[in-house]
Chains A and B, each alone.
Chain A
């Protein structure tokens, strides 16, 4: 079946530190991969999206690269800010069907000033 694994339940950093959030997936075919971010009191919002055509996405200083060999889609940022504190979801769209999104369990990022 289709699955998304985020092993880190919580990541705690200080401002300006490097962020790495792990995401691996399992599926067949050529998925589209997303990172959504959810700030306190809000719904999730799209952070970035990557297809097999472009392999890499970036937005607001965040980057993620789709690696078919290791089936990974890790999220990185060189220097975090306190305002980046949020929950980050790795999401897999494994075909064009309407209900074909699989969400990871989410990683809580806490950034202290």
Chain B
């Protein structure tokens, strides 16, 4: 897996956009960037993934830099329920299996009223 670096923690005001950065400078051309989150001891939840282009779904937007060395997860209107640990993962191509996701420490996002 490409090594990813994320800030340990971040705060965000409720209703504001939360921008979570991730550095993955060693990512290879065929590696996707995945984002998951884990709300206190629950199972991790898939958020979004992308390869080159920016992506958006009902949960978040993913902005990937042109050189693909970093990305930003954007929660457009953070709520208290978005308080969680957010993991940025760039798994290598294991011949068709992306299950060997390496979850680092992630970023603990605290959304405050």
The yes or no verdict on A and B being binding partners is no
